Amino acid sequence: MPKIMLELNEEEDRFVEVYKIMKNLQTKQDAIKEMIHYFDVEIKPKKMSEREYFKVKGGE
């Protein structure tokens, strides 16, 4: 299972804490795991072109 480290500012941390309490969860990690189901994510490379990012290793 991949691990993701998040740096939350004070406001974001409070939001996660409130969500945790409202949903009667044990940890903030559990709250974040539930919260991510409400979002769509699109991954885009920042420091290289999409063509280079998606190029197959050893291929053209």
**Domain total in the chain:** 1
Residue 1 lies in a domain: no
| pLDDT tier for residue 60 given thresholds of 50, 70 and 90 | low
Residue 59 lies in a domain: no
Summarize pLDDT for 48-57 with one digit per residue, the tens.
776 777 777 7
Summarize pLDDT for 10-38 with one digit per residue, the tens.
999 999 999 999 999 999 999 999 998 99
How many CB atoms are located within 10 Å of the residue 21 CB? 10
pLDDT at residue 40 above 60? Answer: yes
Residue 36 lies in a domain: yes
Residue 16 lies in a domain: yes
Range of the domain at 28: 10-53
Residue in 8, 38, 44, 9 with CA at minimum distance from that of residue 23:
38
